[in-house]
């Protein structure tokens, strides 16, 4: 038996390593990405099978990745990025494994595992006993310190059934939410797409990136889906998160809980965000936000 780590998307795998190292079987990894990523992972994991995805998309190698794991099945730990999930899905199908997502802990228990995972978008945690093959999908969190495992990297190739013809870079070099020190998030308290300028001006005055709750991106389409924060969106840890017209549902707050300071503007003193913020101004954002923008501009 082997505990498999599936790495695609990026090297943010500290959360995955924590899970995998708590399991008894020896660790091996399948990496879909650049040679550099495979070498990085070999610092933490003794044996790495590497699929080069510089010319083929992850979808094209999924069945080959599943074949590698199926040859020596065991518990699989994968991240939540889009490529990690599609590889993990192919592995689950090939090994007849159950899939548990949003996993936060797994420990050996009897013949199987005791797994704790988030339920209902983070509303609750559920503990389950699992006997048999399982794929654990979890938040990779951060890039670990460079490791000294000096693992082997074995290149593998696949008959890709999908070919990449071209890539097109992002249209506008948008700011990077993940590394921004200050972020303004806007929610359904905003009545109209035309009013976005209000929060854009606030973000500019604060030197912050603009983000939002899921409905603003997915339901309304006012901002790109890459800008929403939460369990199914981006998770960030800025020094300041300013939430404007956001109620503070658990699914959103998971994305910002690591912020050093949270400030909210909300018209409802009983909104869940009030208890989860360090400071709240209870008031109408249409009055508070322009005042706040002005006050910040005067200061600077």
Partner 1 sequence: MSGTVLVAYQWAPSAQGTLVTESGQVDASRASVGLSDSDHVAIEFARGLADQAGARLVALGVGPEAVSAGLATKAVASRGPDEVVVVRDATPTTISVAQALAAQASGMDDLVALVLGDASNDHGTRMVPGVVAGLLGRPLLADVRSVTLGEPATVVTKFAGGTQTLQAYGTLVVQVAPDAVKPRVPGMRDILAAAKKPVQVVDVSASIDNVAVTPISVSPVQPPSRGGRVIAADTPAAAVAQLVNELSQAGVL
Ligand X SMILES: Cc1cc2nc3c(=O)[nH]c(=O)nc-3n(C[C@H](O)[C@H](O)[C@H](O)COP(=O)(O)OP(=O)(O)OC[C@H]3O[C@@H](n4cnc5c(N)ncnc54)[C@H](O)[C@@H]3O)c2cc1C
User: Cβ distance 177 to 209 under 8 Å?
Assistant: yes
User: Cβ distance 230 to 255 under 8 Å?
Assistant: yes
User: Cβ distance 279 to 272 under 8 Å?
Assistant: no
Least distance between ligand X and beta carbon 95 (Å): 26
Which run of H or E residues covers position 98?
Answer: strand 98-100
Determine phi and psi for 10, rounding to 5 degrees: -160, -175
* Of residues 47 and 274, the one with the C-beta less far from partner 1: 274
Least distance between partner 1 and beta carbon 300 (Å): 10
**Local structure of residue 228 (DSSP, 8 states):** B
Sort strands 112-119 and 134-137 into parallel, antiparallel or unpaired: unpaired
* Of residues 42 and 246, the one with the C-beta less far from partner 1: 246
Beta-carbon-side half-sphere exposure of residue 222 (alpha carbons within 13 Å): 23
Q: What angle do CA 141, 146, 148 make, to 5 degrees?
A: 125
Q: Distance from first CA to last CA of the chain, Å, rounded?
A: 60
CA distance 214 to 98: 28
Residue 295 binding partner 1, by CB under 8 A: yes
User: Cβ distance 82 to 170 under 8 Å?
Assistant: no
Binding mask 53-92 for ligand X (x = CB under 6 A): ----------------------------------------
The neighbour count for residue 234, using CB atoms within 10 Å, is 16
Among 4, 17, 214, 281, binds ligand X (CB under 6 A): 214
Q: Which does 159 bind (CB under 5 to 8 A by kind): ligand X, partner 1, none?
A: none
Which run of H or E residues covers position 116?
Answer: strand 112-119
Q: Which pair of tokens denotes residue 251?
A: 């699914």
Given the rule CB under 6 A, which of 7-15, 76-84, 94-102, 281-289 is the region that contacts ligand X? 281-289
* Of residues 72 and 291, the one with the C-beta less far from partner 1: 291
Among 60, 140, 230, 238, binds ligand X (CB under 6 A): 230
Q: Which does 59 bind (CB under 5 to 8 A by kind): ligand X, partner 1, none?
A: partner 1
Site residues for partner 1, window 152-181 (CB under 8 A)?
161-171, 174
Q: Which does 63 bind (CB under 5 to 8 A by kind): ligand X, partner 1, none?
A: partner 1
Q: Which does 49 bind (CB under 5 to 8 A by kind): ligand X, partner 1, none?
A: none
Among 121, 182, 196, 225, binds ligand X (CB under 6 A): 121
Given the rule CB under 8 A, which of 11-19, 29-37, 40-48, 111-119 is the region that contacts partner 1? 111-119
Q: Which does 85 bind (CB under 5 to 8 A by kind): partner 1, ligand X, none?
A: partner 1
Residue 228 binding ligand X, by CB under 6 A: yes
Residue 177 binding ligand X, by CB under 6 A: no
CA distance 114 to 271: 35
User: Cβ distance 79 to 20 under 8 Å?
Assistant: no
Applying CB under 6 A, the residues found at the interface with ligand X are 121, 187-189, 213-215, 228-233, 245-247, 249, 251-252, 255, 265-268, 271, 284-286
């Amino acid at each position: 038996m082997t505990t498999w780590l599936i790495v695609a998307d990026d090297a943010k795998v500290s959360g995955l390593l924590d899970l995998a190292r708590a399991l008894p079987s020896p660790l091996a990894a399948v990496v879909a990405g650049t040679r550099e990523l495979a070498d990085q992972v070999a610092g933490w994991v003794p044996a790495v099978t590497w699929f080069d995805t510089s010319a083929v998309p992850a979808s094209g190698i999924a069945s080959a990745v599943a074949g590698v794991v199926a040859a020596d099945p065991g518990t699989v730990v994968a991240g939540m990025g889009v490529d990690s999930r599609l590889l993990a899905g192919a592995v689950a199908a090939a090994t007849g494994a159950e899939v548990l997502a949003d996993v936060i802990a797994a420990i050996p228990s009897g013949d199987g595992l005791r797994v704790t995972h988030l339920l209902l978008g983070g509303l609750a945690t559920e503990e389950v006993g699992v006997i048999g093959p399982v794929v654990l999908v979890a938040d990779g969190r951060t890039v670990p310190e460079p490791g000294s495992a000096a693992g082997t990297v074995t290149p593998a190739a696949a008959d890709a059934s999908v070919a990449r013809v071209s890539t097109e870079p992002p249209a506008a070099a948008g700011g990077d939410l993940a590394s921004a020190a200050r972020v303004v998030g806007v929610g359904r308290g905003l009545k109209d797409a035309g009013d976005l300028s209000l929060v854009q001006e606030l973000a500019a005055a604060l030197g912050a990136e603009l983000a939002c709750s899921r409905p603003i991106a997915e339901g309304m389409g006012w901002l790109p889906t890459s800008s929403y924060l939460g369990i199914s969106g981006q998770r960030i840890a800025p020094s300041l998160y300013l939430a404007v017209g956001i109620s503070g549902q658990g699914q959103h707050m998971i994305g910002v809980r690591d912020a050093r300071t949270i400030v909210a503007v909300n018209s409802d003193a009983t909104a869940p965000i009030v208890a989860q913020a360090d400071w709240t101004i209870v008031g109408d954002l249409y009055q508070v936000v322009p005042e706040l923008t002005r006050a910040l501009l005067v200061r600077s």
